[in-house]
A and B are shown apart, each in its own frame.
Chain A
């Protein structure tokens, strides 16, 4: 980095050449009053408080003036003081003076400036105007907006526009009446605001302020428990209660930013509905039991169970250590490999597909690289709702000039920022992508050198391209030919190009093919192994990457080491000191079939809610009733837990130590903020206690750190991970030893495949399993709301419920017109498998012929409708496409 030397108030300072005077001063502990400057935002220079004298001549605002070699700056002269005093007095003349009861107190920049400059009380009194009191907007469940305290610094306006990309408000009116306003002055709750609280976190005074006023007594650094982005947070604790959460500015993933769930969604932790004691079902009713009684019962019943009769479902919400213990228990104690978790329902095709083409089923690149891409191709991801902080990065890339291509059946939020939008029919991704590749090859835009040096199997792939001419693609996908060409050209030529995808790609009967199509197009254009490129599956749950890494899968041990490879088998038998099965177990979806067939009779379920999350839910309910013995370990009595024989109360993420691995393979420390509520216990400990009651060895851990030591010793990609090293930063796997600093980018020299080459895969277009017909004329696709997570066990416990209360069936106005249905009425959605009632939302976000629903709401269990037809390779059910009709109930 280039540096320059400047002098501020006689102090010699060496600073980065790209800094402004204000930044240089603040970096060196020299205070210059400032109100409209914020380190995350472009400076605008409107408050004039940061005025300085440069080279003894001119005055200028220091927040906008870049440093220059030899510059001499004075931060205070008589003239400057005068300017500042007038500016501050004008602000204070209108400002309330009840500082002590304002939540901005002690953090307020206006207070700081006033005390720095010194205020003459008498003069102030004479300046005070008759104050008009404007109404305070208290409509948002989490924060208020008090325009009377606003100093018009515009920080919130810039934050909402440039950080979040929502542009909910701006300066309105003028002169004395100026204020920050939403469109038409709407209350926050009715505005476009997504309640992320980013503006609230940055407001320098108490104008935008959180509703919850109490200050925490202490703070604990940990990781957000919701999505796979893995934002760093500080949990604020007062007494034994978690009362606040704020973004961790030092975490490289989110750099202090959060979405609504991470900032406000902590109400579930100390919620009265939390399970606080073990429950045993007696005569159809749950009764509270002691741990001894419950564990004895579980251990006795598990001990009687034959290996093939047992199945475990682990949890992508739990820590790596929890998952390691559950899979070790299943394998070493129960003698079966039948352990799986909900990754089966979201990203099994990524694991299976990318393992074939690249040798490793994870994001190839890192979140921080997104902003430097020149082209971003987002297919099958509603990033704004499901991975909000990654969406901030995508919007940042667009702000920096990247081309954004969005391929999605629905007109999702990201479409507003995209240059090229492809609305393809759900389930036609292979046709769309292969047609793009044919255009690339036909126009000779492929990266020949990369294909030659780094790839294999190009010929077979090339032949399979033949069938994907533009006519076919247009007919199949519904996307105009010209758009397909434009997208192909942009992605092939605007480099580096980064491809992002999520469940729009994976949740299909041809999900693995879809994933292979994404890897094909990246290989074809040489967009792998370089910064800001790659194929990047955005993983849904906070620790779904980790649950996969740690072997909560029926065919692999931790680190994707195959259970049927003799060497591996021996390695684990030796390490765990017991006989192990070398037969892969069965998958999530197959487990429920096996329960129906009475082959699986005992189910151990840790932190999952398949009654709402599994496709074809009626099939799941029937299965759960058939079980001989069913143990659920969770933090709430979920819809699934009601079927259990024994319920074991688990500690939440805030009550235990451990690690989560985020979507970019970054292992980060989760830290205990409070003691487990009630009589609950961390998941790893509960499983260990069961094992010990069954007189098994290898479960004598005192703390999760010891578990990580065992993980590191057996899992090559986690070999260098220790709690000590994770103390101040996360590490991205592969991190094979303690000298390794981790791997932000995969495949930079070799692919992780056996040959070291990236493998092109020939593909065929396969239609979705269930297509619309006369009886069921609409396609139902499932999606997520920003305000809830998964089956909403955690998010429906407070203000988030206010932001989104119920299930909505989103339908295009044309379809609603044809069916004679009106916005807001209750409708019945019927598929071949069941029916569900929900509220109709008429919106052109939904394309004609397609309706969409989330699966967050137990009273409208969408998965009763979805199809459990599965991908033959990855065994993922096709929750993105099924045929339904919508009618008046």
Chain B
């Protein structure tokens, strides 16, 4: 197995961080910043580097909401779960999207098109409930609206 350039880069990032278990979180952040998520391979390598069981790293990665263990989708959906949005029914929005796409929070759809995450207040409470898709804001949503939004994205995705 010859090491690919990707793997070299991964090692570079990991080895660029201090060789101490105390820095686990910073290492995870650095890897996620570069790749958008924590791959299995990256966790194996971090586990080697810090001499820490991969199950422990998995535990830490799942403890913090900020880490993703699956590659983000082509369309990254973030649903706001802040107070204002909650009051305006963001739980239902989240459920609807999840059901439409068949994924859970933190998951990525099988075709790799969609990923779904939640965030705390997006700072756009005036148009609650809010979601962002690849950073773009969609406000004043209701279940109907998100359904058609998702359908549209699906069509777009199929077209590519």
Residues of A within 8 A of B (CB): 161, 167-174, 181-185, 192, 813-814, 817, 844
Contact = CB atoms under 8 A, between A and B. Distances in A.
Contacts of B69: 184
Interface in B46-67: 53-59, 62-63
Contacts of A161: 53
A135 to B, nearest CB: 13
A170 B40 contact: no
Q: Helix, strand, loop or mixed for chain A's interface?
A: mixed
Given A161-B53, A167-B53, A183-B43, A172 B1 contact: no
A42 to B, nearest CB: 16
A174 B63 CA distance: 5
A885 B40 CA distance: 34
Interface string B1-37: 1100000000000000000000000000000000000
A181 B55 CA distance: 7
Contact of B59 (A172, A192, A814, A817): A172
A814 B53 CA distance: 27
Contacts of A167: 53, 55-56
B104 to A, nearest CB: 11
Contact of A181 (B1, B40, B53, B62): B62
A170 B53 contact: yes
22 contacts: A170-B56, A170-B58, A171-B63, A172-B59, A172-B62, A172-B63, A174-B62, A174-B63, A181-B58, A181-B59, A181-B62, A182-B58, A183-B55, A183-B57, A183-B58, A184-B58, A184-B69, A185-B58, A192-B55, A814-B1, A817-B1, A844-B1
Select the residue from B1, B40, B55, B57 with max chain A CB neighbours within 10 A.
Answer: B55
A813 B55 contact: no
Given A184-B40, A813-B1, A169 B55 contact: yes
A158 to B, nearest CB: 12
A185 B54 CA distance: 11
A172 B58 contact: yes
B63 A173 contact: yes
Contacts of A168: 55
B59 A171 contact: yes
The 5 closest A-B CB pairs, nearest first, are A167-B53, A170-B59, A813-B1, A172-B62, A170-B55
Contacts of A192: 55
A131 B62 CA distance: 21
Given A170-B55, A181-B58, A817-B2, 13 more contacts: A167-B56, A168-B55, A169-B55, A170-B53, A171-B63, A172-B63, A181-B59, A183-B55, A183-B57, A184-B40, A184-B69, A813-B1, A817-B1
Contacts of B40: 184
A817 B69 CA distance: 30
Contacts of B56: 167, 170
B60 to A, nearest CB: 9
**Chain B: interface size category:** 10 to 19
Nearest to B65: A174
Q: Which of B1, B58, B69 has the most CB of A within 10 A?
A: B58
Nearest to A814: B1
A283 B1 CA distance: 55
A864 B58 CA distance: 44
B41 to A, nearest CB: 12
Contacts of B62: 172-174, 181
A813 B1 CA distance: 5
Contacts of A184: 40, 58, 69
A172 B53 CA distance: 13
A192 B44 CA distance: 12
B130 to A, nearest CB: 24
Most chain B CB within 10 A, of A168, A181, A183, A185, is at A183
Interface string B60-102: 0011000001000000000000000000000000000000000
B91 to A, nearest CB: 14
Nearest to B61: A172
B108 to A, nearest CB: 14
A817 B63 CA distance: 40
A175 B127 CA distance: 30
Contacts of A169: 55
Contacts of B58: 170, 172, 181-185
B1 A182 contact: no
A131 to B, nearest CB: 18
A182 B40 CA distance: 13
Interface string B137-153: 00000000000000000
Contacts of B55: 167-170, 181-183, 192
B63 A183 contact: no
Nearest to A177: B62
Nearest to A417: B51
Contact of B54 (A183, A813, A844): A183
A403 to B, nearest CB: 15
Interface string B102-135: 0000000000000000000000000000000000
Nearest to A169: B55
A172 B67 CA distance: 13
Interface centre among B1, B43, B53 (most CB of A within 10 A): B53
Contacts of A183: 43, 53-55, 57-58
A171 B2 CA distance: 35
A641 to B, nearest CB: 44
A38 B63 CA distance: 26
Contacts of B54: 183
A170 B1 CA distance: 31
B31 to A, nearest CB: 15
Nearest to A842: B1
Contacts of A174: 62-63
Contacts of B57: 183
Nearest to B1: A813
Nearest to A161: B53
Nearest to B62: A172
Contacts of A814: 1
A193 B8 CA distance: 29
Contacts of A185: 58
A168 B47 CA distance: 13
Contacts of A817: 1-2
A814 B43 CA distance: 24
Nearest to A179: B62
A207 to B, nearest CB: 17
A171 B53 CA distance: 12
A95 B69 CA distance: 29
A467 B60 CA distance: 53
Nearest to B56: A170
A300 B53 CA distance: 64
Interface centre among B54, B56, B62 (most CB of A within 10 A): B62
B154 to A, nearest CB: 27
A331 B62 CA distance: 68
A104 B130 CA distance: 47
Nearest to B57: A183
A53 to B, nearest CB: 33
Contacts of B59: 170-172, 181
Nearest to A416: B51
Contacts of A171: 59, 63
Which among B43, B54, B56, B59 has the highest number of chain A CB atoms within 10 Å? B59
A197 B119 CA distance: 40
B77 to A, nearest CB: 20
Contacts of B43: 183
A181 B62 CA distance: 10
A171 B61 CA distance: 11
Contacts of A173: 62-63
B103 to A, nearest CB: 15
Nearest to A157: B55
B55 to A, nearest CB: 4
A409 B77 CA distance: 50
A79 to B, nearest CB: 31
Nearest to B70: A184
Nearest to B59: A170
A169 B55 CA distance: 5
Nearest to A175: B63
